[in-house]
């Protein structure tokens, strides 16, 4: 057994002890003793003790109604505190002689390898400066923690930083513990679950705060490190305008199936980003005004500042006035439509150029040391964050555009566009895109849905170009889906290029992605409007829900290969946008491994991906943590660009074809063709109850119906709660078992050893199987599922066991994660606190379902707390 690091254990123990003291103060010794009995019983039961299992069951069964909620909260908060300790442990101070974390070393080690591989320093410097990585923050409802609690968790992490010094006195340590206990007390007396569902503006406010709280601090640090590395390896500095990583957002722009995201919301969110950016820059400028008191300056700067003893301050105060005007206008415009005064900053250059002038002047006057301090950091922030912090993407379903155009063409007496064949649509769209006259008459009165589509396009047309990212079309299928959006934008007054991005989500659409893009690129009317690379979004969530992860992963890989070939043939750059989630069932994987497993040529210095839900906090919630994860992104994209993996061997492709085919049949055989499956799913999991958890602004369903109508996130979230983890492995059971029975085990092992795509898929499968727990899933069935559905649950657990056996046979291990005993021990530690939450949840679900209508109160609150606690314990839940 490899022990968890002693310092991590110490912090986990300390936080748990302080939580116990807070509980004792609030609820007394009796409840704390029951919680401790439950914990010990769960630990013993996990170790196979019948006595421990009996004690656990009896203690839980003996809880009074008024004890259910505090017990659920105790285990939930312990898991949250353990997460904080674990997060901090990865970024803790290293002692003399202790190795730095591998995340921090990924980029410098890669540069050394690239130099050794023959890349010239000049080429490396150019490649790094031209990297184009964009992380798109989304508001998918898997972040179960309230923002007020996240702030307290961050404060606890700060106290762990303060504690991590060897020379602290006993008094100083005592004060830190006192502050920790006060914070834990504040957490205990704060409700974990929101009373109301957040609005899209609330979500956007949270996203902007995530940038301002952490990424704002992290980006100048990481760019400074890159600059130092480039100078060390290549003798060149990173250009001032280089922004190898930028950020975008879907919060307030993603209206796919979310009626709460309107044109007004999008306009308000754009103003919100503008206001927050101006506020952050004002702090920077005030600091610079205080620091840049020197007199010597270049004639270029003096020409703007006039004859003044402090010319830098003169220029910076002028900039401050413009930022104040921008901030105040953005606030006022949230309440009424106001034209922007002339002083409002509209373009990034208006902020960048005065700062750059100060920077050049300081260097020219022998004050480079001063220039390379706070002023350089401010310039780096302007390069990365611009005037809006994040660029807002717009996303809408293709059917909304099709319906809108159908209504318009019907009104004009041309017939119903929505019913036309693809060839007729394309002919109409091309004609209208080239036609200078408006399509819409002035007196046209659209329906409410069409009016909303047009209003959104009008907001896009009015917004500054720098504030917007891409217009993403979900459920895109045909070339006409892209041209339809371009026409609607043209009719709404957009006269500049905007990337219109088809999102291919289902298995059929992925298979048809390359032909669709080939058809688009062959159209002169489209090529004239293509500004920059051809962006295509690859859907991971819905393709996995449609076909299972085995078939979906292979379809995603092949679609990317074919798209690379199509764009190469048409001499167009390709930008692939990866719609990944946090879980394996939604394409989740550690960023470094995921990027390096892409097809060769698909990552050519460009990479765009979503960062979703709770993963934003886990990866970027603290500045040091953000630096580590951004380092991994930079290293992986650079490596995939300059040292791409070789293409798979023909035999591997053929075997992967068979795996995908078998996986598809097996997955759909259960999810689509098993008549009892939907009933079983809704009884065995808290899927229905999740709809009552006020996590995000978006409804759980796109429409009424069965599994096909359910969004990918609650589909996966529900199975995660019961530990069956079905969406992540279903299909692999038959795929791997059939391959092994055909005698292809040796070839599978070879693919795992030499093909990054397959090895990453298998590693992620192993990770999720290690989190699965058939015994826990069986307990849910026994407590919640009708007798006639129990055989289906047993069958699914048999398939889970079969998948585990196949993975172990391929990897040559005796148990899952035996190559990562530290990770396995961390899982074991969490299970001690997860098991009671699962058992409580089963009981609370049973009680809740016996009520004719859900009632607000301790029972409902306790149920929702167990959902939050299990999510915290398993972390990547959505």
Residue 129: per-residue pLDDT:
93
User: What is the distance in angstroms between the CA of the first residue and the CA of the last residue of the chain?
Assistant: 31
Do 691 and 704 form a contact (C-beta atoms < 8 A)? Answer: no
Residue 585: per-residue pLDDT:
40
Cα–Cα distance measured from residue 398 to residue 506, given in angstroms and rounded to the nearest whole number = 13
Cα–Cα distance measured from residue 346 to residue 464, given in angstroms and rounded to the nearest whole number = 7
Do 31 and 23 form a contact (C-beta atoms < 8 A)? Answer: yes
Q: Which of 551, 541, 528, 514 is nearest to 609 (CA)?
A: 541
What letters, b where the CB count within 10 A reaches 16 and e where it falls short, cover 784-819? bbeeebeebbeebbebbebbbebbbebbeeeebbee
Do 15 and 839 form a contact (C-beta atoms < 8 A)? Answer: no
CA quadruple 25, 27, 31, 35: dihedral sign: negative
Cα–Cα distance measured from residue 5 to residue 442, given in angstroms and rounded to the nearest whole number = 70
Cα–Cα distance measured from residue 810 to residue 732, given in angstroms and rounded to the nearest whole number = 13
- Phi, psi of 621, deg, nearest 5: -70, -25
Q: Which helix (H) or strand (E) holds 248?
A: strand 245-249
The whole-angstrom distance between residue 446's C-alpha and the CA centroid of its chain comes to: 36
Cα–Cα distance measured from residue 392 to residue 266, given in angstroms and rounded to the nearest whole number = 9
Query: DSSP secondary structure string, 278-308?
Result: HHHHHHHHHHHHHH-------HHHHHHH-S-
Q: Which pLDDT tens digit goes with each residue over 540-592?
A: 878 888 899 999 999 999 999 999 999 999 999 999 999 875 444 444 457 78
Structural domains of the chain, with CATH: 6-131+144-194+228-238 (no CATH), 263-385 (1.20.1440.90), 393-573 (3.20.20), 650-819 (no CATH)
Q: Where are the beta strands (DSSP E) in 410-483?
A: 468-474
Q: Which pLDDT tens digit goes with each residue over 786-827?
A: 999 999 999 999 999 999 999 999 999 999 988 877 777 777
Q: Where would I find the H helices in 141-262?
A: 147-163, 170-188, 200-210, 216-234
Residue 579: per-residue pLDDT:
86
Do 141 and 254 form a contact (C-beta atoms < 8 A)? Answer: no
Q: Which of 198, 340, 222 is nearest to 278 (CA)?
A: 340
Do 493 and 529 form a contact (C-beta atoms < 8 A)? Answer: no
Question: Who contacts 757 (Cβ-Cβ below 8 Å, separation ≥6)?
Answer: 553, 557, 597, 598, 599, 645, 648
Taking 70 as the pLDDT cut, the residues of the chain under it are: 1-4, 93-101, 140-145, 581-589, 613, 692-713, 852-856, 876-878
Cα–Cα distance measured from residue 720 to residue 714, given in angstroms and rounded to the nearest whole number = 10
Cα–Cα distance measured from residue 474 to residue 542, given in angstroms and rounded to the nearest whole number = 10
Return the structure tokens found at 27: 């609820």
Cα–Cα distance measured from residue 521 to residue 517, given in angstroms and rounded to the nearest whole number = 6
Residue 581: per-residue pLDDT:
56
What CA dihedral angle connects 215, 221, 225 and 228, to 10 degrees?
Answer: 140
Q: Where does residue 189 rank: exposed (0-12), middle (13-18), buried (19+ CB within 10 A)?
A: exposed
Q: Which of 292, 299, 277 is nearest to 373 (CA)?
A: 292
Q: Where would I find the H helices in 647-755?
A: 650-671, 677-684, 687-690, 712-722, 726-729, 732-741, 745-754
CA quadruple 334, 335, 339, 341: dihedral sign: negative
For the annotated catalytic residues, the residue numbers are 140, 545
C-alpha distances in Å from residue 505, one per residue of 178, 396, 484, 539, 580: 51, 13, 19, 4, 11
Residue 583: per-residue pLDDT:
44
Three-class SS of residue 504? strand
């Amino acid at each position: 057994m490899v022990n968890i690091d002693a310092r991590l254990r110490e912090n986990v123990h300390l936080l748990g002890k302080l939580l116990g003291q807070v509980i004792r103060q609030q609820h007394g010794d009796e409840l704390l003793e029951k919680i401790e009995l439950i914990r010990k019983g769960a630990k013993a039961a996990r170790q196979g003790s019948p006595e421990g299992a009996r004690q656990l069951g009896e203690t839980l069964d003996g809880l009074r109604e008024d004890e259910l909620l505090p017990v659920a909260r105790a285990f939930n908060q312990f898991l949250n505190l353990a997460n904080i300790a674990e997060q901090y442990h990865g970024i803790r101070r290293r002692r003399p002689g202790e190795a730095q974390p591998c995340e921090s070393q990924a980029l410098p080690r890669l540069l050394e390898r690239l130099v050794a591989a023959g890349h010239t320093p000049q080429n490396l410097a150019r490649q790094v400066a031209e990297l184009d990585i964009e992380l798109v923050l989304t508001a998918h409802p898997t972040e179960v923690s309230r923002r007020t609690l996240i702030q307290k968790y961050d404060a606890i992490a700060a106290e762990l930083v303060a504690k991590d010094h060897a020379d602290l006195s006993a008094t100083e340590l005592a004060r830190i513990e006192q502050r920790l206990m006060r914070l834990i007390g504040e957490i205990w007396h704060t409700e974990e679950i929101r009373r109301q569902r957040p609005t899209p503006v609330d979500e956007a406010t949270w996203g902007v705060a995530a940038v301002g709280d952490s990424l704002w601090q992290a980006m100048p640090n990481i760019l400074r490190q890159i600059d130092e590395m480039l100078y060390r390896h290549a003798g060149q500095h990173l250009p001032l305008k280089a922004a190898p990583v930028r950020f975008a957002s879907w919060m307030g722009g993603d209206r796919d199936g979310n009626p709460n995201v309107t044109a007004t919301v999008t306009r308000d969110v754009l103003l919100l980003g503008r206001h927050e950016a101006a506020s952050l820059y004002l702090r920077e400028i005030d600091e610079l005004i205080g620091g840049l008191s020197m007199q010597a300056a270049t004639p270029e700067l003096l020409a703007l500042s006039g004859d003044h003893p402090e010319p830098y301050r003169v220029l910076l105060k002028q900039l401050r006035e413009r930022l104040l005007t921008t901030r105040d206008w953005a606030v006022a415009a949230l309440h009424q439509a106001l034209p922007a005064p002339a002083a409002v900053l509209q373009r990034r250059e208006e902020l960048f150029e005065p700062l750059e002038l100060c920077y050049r002047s300081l260097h020219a006057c022998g004050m480079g040391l001063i220039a390379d301090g706070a002023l350089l950091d401010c310039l780096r922030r302007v390069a990365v964050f611009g005037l809006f912090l994040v660029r807002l993407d717009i996303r809408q379903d293709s059917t909304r555009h099709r319906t809108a155009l159908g209504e318009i063409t019907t009104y004009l007496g041309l017939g119903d566009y929505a019913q036309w064949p693809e060839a007729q649509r394309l002919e109409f769209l091309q004609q209208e895109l080239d036609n200078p006259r408006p399509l819409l008459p002035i007196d046209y009165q659209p329906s409410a849905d069409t009016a909303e589509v047009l209003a959104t396009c009008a907001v896009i047309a009015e917004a500054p170009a720098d504030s917007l990212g891409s217009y993403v079309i979900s459920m895109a299928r045909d070339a006409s889906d892209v041209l339809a959006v371009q026409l609607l934008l043209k009719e709404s007054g957009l006269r500049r290029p905007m990337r219109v991005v088809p999102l291919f989500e289902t298995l059929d659409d992925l298979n048809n992605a390359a032909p669709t893009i080939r058809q688009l690129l062959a159209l002169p009317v489209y090529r004239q409007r293509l500004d920059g690379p051809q962006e295509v979004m690859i859907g991971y969530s819905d393709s996995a829900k449609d076909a299972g992860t085995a078939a979906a992963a292979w379809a995603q890989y092949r679609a990317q290969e074919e798209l690379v070939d199509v764009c190469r043939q048409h001499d167009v750059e390709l930008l692939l946008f990866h719609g990944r989630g946090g879980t394996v069932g939604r394409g989740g994987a550690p960023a470094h491994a995921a990027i390096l497993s892409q097809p060769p040529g698909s990552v050519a210095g460009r990479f765009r991906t979503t960062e979703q839900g709770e993963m934003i906090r886990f990866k970027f919630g603290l500045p040091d943590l953000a630096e580590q994860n951004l380092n991994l992104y930079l290293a992986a994209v650079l490596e995939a660009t300059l040292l791409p993996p070789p293409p798979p061997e023909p035999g591997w492709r053929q075997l992967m074809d068979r795996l995908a085919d078998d996986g598809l049949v097996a997955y759909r055989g259960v999810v689509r063709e098993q008549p009892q499956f939907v009933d079983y799913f809704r009884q065995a999991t808290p899927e229905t109850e999740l709809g009552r958890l006020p996590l995000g602004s978006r409804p759980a369903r796109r429409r009424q119906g069965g599994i096909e109508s359910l969004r990918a996130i609650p589909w996966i979230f529900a199975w995660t709660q019961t530990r069956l983890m079905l969406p992540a492995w279903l299909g692999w059971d038959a795929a791997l078992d059939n391959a092994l029975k055909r005698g292809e085990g040796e070839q599978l092992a070879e693919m795992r050893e030499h093909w990054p795509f397959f090895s990453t898929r298998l590693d992620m499968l192993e990770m999720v199987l290690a989190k699965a727990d058939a015994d826990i899933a069986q307990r849910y069935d026994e407590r919640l599922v009708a007798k006639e559905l129990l055989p289906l649950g047993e069958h699914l657990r048999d398939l889970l066991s079969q998948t585990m056996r196949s993975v172990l046979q391929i990897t040559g291990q005796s148990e899952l994660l035996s190559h990562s005993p530290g990770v396995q021990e961390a899982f074991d530690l969490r299970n001690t606190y997860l098991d009671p939450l699962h058992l409580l949840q089963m009981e609370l679900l049973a009680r809740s379902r016996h009520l004719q209508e859900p009632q607000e109160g301790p029972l409902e609150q306790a149920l929702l707390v167990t959902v939050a606690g299990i999510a915290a314990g398993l972390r990547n839940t959505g």
